[in-house]
Amino acid sequence: MSSSSLSTVLASVITEAVLELSLYGAFAVIFSAVVYLFWARALISKDRPIFFVFLALVILFLSITAHLINAIYMLYLGFAHFGGGIPAAELYLSLSAPTTLAHISLVEVATFITDSLVIHRLYVVWSYNRRVVIFPLIIVLCQIVSGIHIIYDFSRETLFDFYSLSNPWVTSSLVSSLLISGYSSGMIMYKILMMARSFRRISGSANGKYHLRKVLVIIIESSLLQTAMTVGILVSFQIGLLVQSVLTALSPVVFGISVVLIHARVGLGWAKDNYTEPMPTPIALSVSLATSRSEERDLERGK
C-alpha cells in the first residue's frame, strides 16, 4: 500500500468520525425537542402520538447513537490500539472485521426505519388505503434482501473485491430507497394537491389550500435531504470513489435529521395551534378551515 493510499484511508476515517459527531449533536438536539413537543402535545390535548411512529423514532435514535459509538471505537482501535499506519489501514479496509460489520448493519437498520416512516406517511395521507402502499412494501422487501446480501458480502470480502463483486446489491439497496422516496413523495404531493383543490371549491377561499400546502412543503423539504444523500452515495459508489465510504457512514445521522426535522416543524405547529386563538370567520369558511386543519393534523400526526 502506497503512502498516499494509506493517508487517504486514515484521513477518510477521521473525517467520518468528526463529521458524524458534529451532525449527531444537531440530531440529538432536534430529537430531544421532538420528544418534548410530543409529550407536551399529549399533556395538553390528552392525546397520544401514533405508537408506531414514536417507537420508530426511538429505535432510529438508538441505532444512530450505536453507529456513532462504533465509529469512535473504530477510531480508538486504529490509532490508540494499533498505533495508526498500515495496521490501522488494514483494519479499516477489512470489511469482515466485527466493527465494520456492525457499522454497515446499523446503516441498513437506519435506512430501513427511515423508508418505513416514509411509507407510513403515504399510508396516512391516503386515508389508510392499503393498495397505495403495496408497491413500496414490495420495494422494502427487496431492500431487506439486498441489505442482508451486502452484510454477507462484507463478511467475506475486502474493500476492493467489494467494489467489483457486490456492486449489484449495493446498487439495488440504494435504488430501492430512491424508488420508495420518489414514489411516496409523488403520491403524497398528488393527494394533497387534490385535497387543496377540493377545499378551495367548497370554501371559495385559498386558506385551506394554504394549510395543506404547508404540510406538503414540510414533507418535500425534509425528504430532499435524504434523497440527496442517497444519490450522492449511489453516484460515488458507481464511480468507485473512496468518498462513498464517508457518505455511507454519515447517512444514518443525515437520515435521522431528515426525519426529525419533519416532526420538529409539526410539533412547532402544534404548539402554535394550542396557544393561538383563531380570528372570527364566516360560518362557511370556518367549516372549511376546521376540516382542512383536522386533515392537516391527521397528516402531521402520521409522519
Domain boundaries, the chain: 3-301
- In tens digits, the chain (303 residues) has pLDDT values of 556 667 777 888 888 889 999 999 999 998 998 888 777 666 555 555 567 788 889 999 999 999 999 999 998 988 887 777 788 888 887 878 888 899 999 999 999 999 998 898 888 888 889 999 999 999 999 999 999 988 888 888 765 565 565 568 888 999 999 999 999 888 888 888 887 777 666 655 555 555 566 666 666 666 788 888 899 888 888 776 677 888 889 999 999 998 888 877 765 554 444 444 343 333 233 333 334 444 445 544 544
Facing residues of 4 across strands? none
| Whole-number pLDDT of residue 183 | 92
DSSP-derived 3-state class of residue 158: strand
| Whole-number pLDDT of residue 176 | 94
Taking CA atoms, 121 is separated from 99, 296, 298, in Å, by: 33, 12, 10
| Whole-number pLDDT of residue 73 | 93
| Whole-number pLDDT of residue 296 | 47
pTM recorded for the entire structure: 0.80
| Whole-number pLDDT of residue 162 | 58
- Would you say domain 3-301 falls under CATH 1.20.120? no
Residue 92, Cα to own-chain centre: how many angstroms?
26
